[in-house]
Amino acid sequence: MAKDFGDDLFSASDGMANAGICKLDVVKMDYVGAESITWRELFSGYDSIKAITFSSGIDFVYQLLNLFEDAEIIFGCEEVMSYTLQEIMAYQAKLMECIRKTDSASKEKMIERVERGDVRLFVARRRLSHEKLYLLKAEDGRTRVVFGSANMSFNAFGGRQREIICYIDSQEAYDRFEEAYEDLKRDSVDTITKKAVEISDATENVDALPIAETAKVKKVVYIEPVKEAAEDVNFILDTRDLAKRIAPSIPISKEEKRKGKVLVTPDVIQKVRRQLVKESEHEKELRSEYPQLVVDVEKGDVLLNGDTLDLHPAKDEIQSDAELFARYMKGFERFHGDCAGMQHRYYEFANWFFCSPFMAVMRDTALRYDQKTLPYPVFGLIYGQSKAGKTSFLETLLKMMIGQKVKISAPEFTRTTIDGLRRTVQGAPIIVDDLTNTRFNQHAIETIKNDDFGSLDHLLNYPAVVISANEDVKAVAPEVIRRTVICRVQAGLTNTEVMKSNVVRSVQQKIGTAFYREYLRRMLDAVPGLMEALKDDNPESESPDILKISSVTLRAIFSESLPDCPAFIRELSLEDYFSEKVTGKYAIQTIRTAWQANPNAFEVNARMNTVRYIAGENWDADRLMKELPENLCAKRSRDSVIMDLDAAKDFFDIDFRPKSFFSRFLGK
């Protein structure tokens, strides 16, 4: 959300101004007169130049340097920066790229002069004075100081834009400004070498940047970011963000694009206004329906709809939430089917669900340091038979997180809709309820496979997408399994039992967010360490397991809050979510059941080291194929699946020896 610029420009800055009185260096001058001259006339007749410029046109730099036998230039950044290491490296990399891309003989001549030493180029690594300064000196002793608002470019010195340009022909002024220039050069700049111009960049040649060369020579360089610049930096970023939001509402014709000029009339302003109002209303609807959760790992705080959450909840409130959650989970013991397995699967899903707001920052860190993002999934799928409590379970988890239980219906699910919501919602998981197999295949699979959302923009807050579906969502493709936390439930209630049960309603009415706020506080202490571990470039090191840390954190809170911790509340790891035995659980169950009930459906060929399973239906064979791991070397032949015998024995834990009639009769 864009900030109130009025507060940034006046309220905050007034506070800074009133904080104390600071002495300023002010040059007192006399006004002699004004004249009209060209830039060449202004600079010609001198042998050396020392200059500070914030913005520059490289071609103009080349032409200006040709006037002098000896030259020095300090390049600063044209925008306000806080001068962190990342900003310094980014600016230097872009400056080198700008110089490198210039294709002219002048560039080659300048590089030769740099190598000779009669042209010296520097780039700032701390904030410079905002004046643009040019110190000129001739061998006969004449001096000139040119200063004002003009940067080193044709736009500034070619009369294309209004500038304030002043000069003083005075040795005293020259000495005064040269002293300041030399102080700045000594403490605040890095030298631009020929190597830096030719190869340095922000990737594999980052060690050739000017600041890297300085570090090599000095062994250590201290970077002190300008904290006071934060407001100005935020203002610039907020302005850019607001401009991006306004841009789609600006009606620009093809002719205007071609000419590069936009005609602004009162009618155009009204059109823009109507569109902005429409977009604002739509955004308000989204925000009211889908709360914004922002987890700021760097600052160690969490915001919900712009309000900072209290991450130190009362102990009795934490205990109440823990007891209500345990009561809710105990309710699954009344279900028909694999109740214990259901509790375990649901708890595994809850662990990931609670952890999901941290996945964006973990994925961004992994991408920046060339690590895998797969250990940090941002998609979840709960599917299985109806009346298994899937929807109410997800609602309860979300209620614990943000105090609300919002979701979108299946017909609203498209990739475009989801991407738009993810930018608005930021942290709280988006729940897509009751997705059919058709819509899952049409929209969900493609969305999950292309899971690079937020990577280009380096977004640190975006939500996981959680899909609930019934049994008609059959097998899930391998490329989806690798990117999705999957919970398949095989237990449920009868219609009348569903009608009579009031446990869900009772828990959802009473449960609060205290437990989750305590969880967030503890995770905010742990996640920075995981991010640092991602920066380890040792190829033998494993990806830090945030799901394990999350489960340890949850178990600690539950243990402190409950007299007897249920068995399903346990330590988990990435293996519990993505090992072959987990992702292939349906296939394992299917084959084991078939082996017990109908061993004749299997053909074992010891000589070829294969086992063939005759599924009986093409779709059943296809479903199995999607869940079998690669080491089984599975192949499908119509309604059959052919697998490597040794690998199948290990994966299914079946010997696959032909059964005698007696053993089949006993069910062994």
469 and 493 part of one domain: yes
Predicted pLDDT at 258: 77
651 and 510 share a domain? no
Tell me the pLDDT band of 118, cut-offs 50, 70 and 90.
Answer: very high
Give the least confident one: 205-219, 418-432, 522-536, 654-668.
654-668
Does residue 536 lie in a domain region? yes
Instruction: Give the pair of three-digit tokens for residue 202.
Output: 């922000």
Nearest to 555 by CA among 322, 382, 300, 310: 322
Q: Report the amino acid identity of residue 417.
A: T
Mean pLDDT of 109-129: 82
Amino acid found at 311? L
- The radius of gyration of the chain from alpha carbons, rounded to an integer in Å, stands at 33
- What is the per-residue pLDDT across 341-390, written as a single tens digit (0 to 9) for each? 888 989 999 999 999 999 999 999 998 888 888 899 999 988 877 777 78
Helices 645-652 & 585-597 angle (0-180, nearest 10) = 100
SS3 state at 525: helix
Pick the residue with more confidence: 231 or 643?
643
- Name, in order, each residue with C-beta under 8 angstroms of 375's C-beta and a sequence gap of 6 or more: 366, 543, 544, 545, 546, 547, 574
Question: Do 459 and 360 contact (CB within 8 A), yes or no?
Answer: yes
Predicted local confidence at residue 482, as pLDDT: 79
Q: Within its chain, how far is the Cα of 50 from the centroid? A: 42
Judge if 490 and 617 occupy the same domain.
no
- Same domain, yes or no: 488 and 541: yes
Indicate if the pLDDT at residue 470 is higher than 50.
yes
87-91, 210-214, 237-241, 527-531: least confidently modelled range: 237-241
Question: Which residues, at least 6 apart from 642, have a Cβ–Cβ distance to it below 8 Å?
Answer: 610, 611, 612, 613, 634, 635, 636
Statement to judge: residues 568 and 584 lie in one domain: no
Q: Identify the CA nearest to 433 among candidates 404, 463, 411, 461.
A: 411
Q: Give the DSSP letter string of 300-337.
A: TEEEETTEEP-SS--HHHHHHHHHHHHHHHHGGGGSEE
CB count in 10 Å sphere of residue 569: 23
Bigger pLDDT: 85 vs 69: 69
Q: Which structural domain, as residue segments, surrounds residue 214?
A: 35-227
Same domain, 524 and 639: no
209-212's contacts with Cβ under 8 Å and 24+ in sequence apart are: 209/89, 209/92, 209/93, 209/96, 210/92, 210/122, 210/123, 211/85, 211/88, 211/89, 211/92, 211/125
* CA gap 398, 603 in Å, rounded: 48
If one compares 230 and 87, the residue with the highest pLDDT of the two is 87
End-to-end CA distance of the chain: 65
Q: How far is CA 415 from CA 411, 445, 454, in A?
A: 12, 10, 14
Top-confidence residue, 631 or 145: 145
Q: Would you state the pLDDT for residue 288?
A: 53
Cα 325 to Cα 397: distance, rounded to the nearest angstrom? 9
Is 304 a member of any domain? no
Distance in angstroms (rounded) separating the CA atoms of residues 89 and 202 = 7
Residue 267 placed within a domain: no
The answer to whether residues 384 and 408 belong to one domain is: yes
Domain membership flag for residue 341 = yes
Is 566 found in the same domain as 590? no
Q: What is the pLDDT of residue 500?
A: 52
- 501 & 538 share domain: yes
Q: Has residue 18 been placed in a domain?
A: no
Determine the pLDDT at residue 319: 95
pLDDT of residue 640 exceeding 60, the answer is yes
Domain count, the chain: 3
Last residue of a domain, one of 227, 255, 286: 227
pLDDT tens for residues 2-30?
Answer: 333 333 333 334 444 444 567 777 888 88
Q: Are residues 560 and 600 in the same domain?
A: no
Q: Using the 3D structure, point to which of 574, 596, 624 is the last residue of a domain.
A: 574
Which residue would you say has higher pLDDT here, 159 or 376? 376
pLDDT at res. 494: 63
645 lies in the same domain as 584: yes
The CATH code of the domain that includes 197 is 3.30.870.10
Instruction: Please state the rounded mean pLDDT for residues 527-550.
Output: 87
Q: What is the pLDDT of residue 475?
A: 54
- Tokens (6 digits) for 125: 């690594």
Tell me what pLDDT residue 13 has: 40
On the question of pLDDT at 455 being above 90, the answer is: no
Our measurement of the distance from residue 174's CA atom to the centroid of its chain's CA atoms, rounded to an integer in Å, reads: 49
Q: How many CA atoms lie within 13 A of 665 on its CB side?
A: 3
Here the tokens at position 335 are 């279900």
Query: Of 169, 193, 227, which residue sits at a domain end?
Result: 227
Contact assessment for residue 229 and residue 82, using Cβ atoms and an 8 Å cutoff: yes
Other C-beta atoms closer than 10 Å to the C-beta of 395 total 19
**Phi, psi angle pair for 118, to nearest 5°:** -85, -5
Residue 659 in this model has a pLDDT that exceeds 70: no
List phi, psi (to 5°) of 65: -65, -25
Does residue 282 surpass a pLDDT of 70? no
Answer yes or no: is pLDDT of 271 > 70.
Answer: yes
Residue ranges of E strands in 360-456 = 379-384, 408-409, 430-435
Residue written as token pair 């569109």: 275
Report yes or no on 122 lying in a domain. yes
- Element of type H or E holding 516: helix 514-534
The model's pLDDT over 473-518, given as tens digits with 9 standing for 90+, comes to 555 666 777 788 888 777 766 655 554 567 778 888 899 999 999 9
- Write phi, then psi, for 302 (nearest 5 degrees): -135, 135
Classify each residue of 57-91 as buried b or exposed e, where b means 16 or more C-beta atoms within 10 Å of its C-beta.
bbebbbbbbebbeebbbbbbbeebbbbeeebbbeb
Residue owning tokens 């002719």: 255
Question: Among residues 306, 300, 291, 550, which one has the least CA distance to residue 427?
Answer: 291
Q: What are phi and psi of 611, to 5 degrees?
A: -130, 130
Q: Which of 9-18, 331-340, 546-555 has the lowest mean pLDDT?
A: 9-18
Among 229-233, 263-267, 308-312, 655-659, which stretch is predicted with the lowest mean pLDDT? 229-233
Q: Averaging pLDDT over each range in 77-81, 116-120, 503-507, which range is the top one?
A: 116-120
Residue 373 forms part of a structural domain: yes
Q: Residue 254 corresponds to which tokens in the numbers above?
A: 């093809």
Q: Is residue 279 part of a domain?
A: no
pLDDT of residue 322: 94
With cut-offs at 50, 70 and 90, classify the pLDDT of residue 522: very high
Q: In whole angstroms, what is the distance from residue 481 CA to residue 449 CA?
A: 10
pLDDT of residue 312 exceeding 90, the answer is: yes
Neighbours of 155 (CB within 10 A): 14
pLDDT for 161? 74
pLDDT surpasses 90 at 411: no
- In this structure, the answer to whether residues 617 and 566 fall within a common structural domain is no
Choose between 106 and 72: higher pLDDT: 72
The 10s digit of each residue's pLDDT in 211-262 is 888 888 888 777 766 655 555 555 555 566 667 667 777 777 777 777 777 7
How many residues are listed for the chain in this entry? 668
